């Protein structure tokens, strides 16, 4: 792989490797995790197996969403995902070790902000996805209260966010359009502000820049 991409993923993934246990325990009894999971499930995306999660981490979302396979550049989280029943492979989004037209769906959840090259990732998606298979992206909009909150964490040197790059919904729209993906549906949730989460929210149809979490389903165009 190109030297720049290699050094980027090695640097970005180091903290997730070293602090895998800490990151994994964050999900325990987390209302925030429950809100995000509920929003993804609301899409009810239809596809043929197999599904793949990019940036599977410790496998919490994959386990909840019944995604059988995932890749991640950080090794230690992959060991945790494997214990949860997921098949795993140490790899990066920009160079997937998969055959052309071999995947029925790709999930990218909270990983867009860590990619060295979203453009190369989308090119790879176009290669490995089966015809009309969905790409499902869940992310924190940059202009939302949660996006600004995470940006502040980044600026203060938070170990998990120090290398993150946050995107607006419009920026993601343009990226998808450039690589011939058409948005089919989307949902928004997490209107409770950071530090104020008290109830399980129900996601709303549509894409709202003020929501703390949005999920987009896109499919390859003609």
Quick: pLDDT tens for 97-118.
Answer: 999 999 999 999 999 999 989 9
Tell me the two tokens of residue 207: 């894409």
Cβ proximity of 129 and 106 under 8 Å: yes
What's the pLDDT at 11? 58
Q: Tens digit of pLDDT for each residue in 117-175?
A: 999 999 999 999 999 999 999 999 999 999 999 999 888 877 777 788 999 999 999 99
Q: Considering only CA atoms, which of 53, 52, 62, 54 is closest in space to residue 27?
A: 62
The b-or-e profile of 174-211 (16+ CB within 10 A means b, else e) is ebbeebebebebbbbbbbbeeeebeeebebbeebbeeb
The string of pLDDT tens digits covering residues 2-60 is: 444 445 555 566 656 466 556 667 677 789 999 999 999 999 888 989 999 999 988 88
How far is residue 92's CA from residue 150's CA, in Å, rounded to a whole number? Answer: 23
What is the predicted pLDDT for the residue at 27?
A: 73
pTM score, whole prediction:
0.90
Residue ranges per structural domain of the chain: 3-220
Cβ neighbours, 10 Å, residue 66: 9
CATH fold group of domain 3-220: Rossmann fold (3.40.50)
């Amino acid at each position: 792989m190109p030297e720049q991409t290699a050094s980027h993923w090695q640097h970005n993934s180091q903290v997730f490797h070293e602090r895998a246990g800490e990151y994994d325990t964050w999900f325990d009894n987390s209302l925030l995790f429950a809100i995000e999971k509920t929003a993804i499930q609301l899409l009810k995306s239809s596809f043929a197996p197999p599904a793949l999660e990019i940036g599977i981490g410790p496998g919490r979302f994959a386990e909840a969403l019944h995604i059988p396979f995932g890749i991640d550049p950080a090794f230690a989280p992959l060991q945790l995902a494997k214990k949860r029943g997921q098949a795993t492979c140490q790899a990066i989004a920009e160079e997937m070790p998969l055959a052309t037209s071999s995947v029925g769906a790709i999930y990218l959840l909270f990983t867009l902000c860590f990619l060295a090259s979203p453009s190369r990732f989308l090119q790879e998606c176009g290669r490995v996805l089966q015809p009309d298979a969905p790409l499902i992206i869940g992310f924190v909009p940059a202009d939302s209260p949660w996006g600004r909150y995470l940006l502040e964490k980044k600026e203060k040197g938070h170990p998990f966010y120090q290398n993150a790059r946050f995107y607006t919904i419009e920026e993601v729209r343009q990226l998808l359009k450039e690589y011939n993906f058409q948005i089919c549906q989307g949902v928004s949730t997490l209107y409770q502000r950071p530090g104020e989460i008290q109830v399980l929210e129900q996601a709303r149809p549509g894409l709202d820049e003020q929501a703390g979490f949005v999920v987009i389903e896109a499919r390859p165009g003609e």
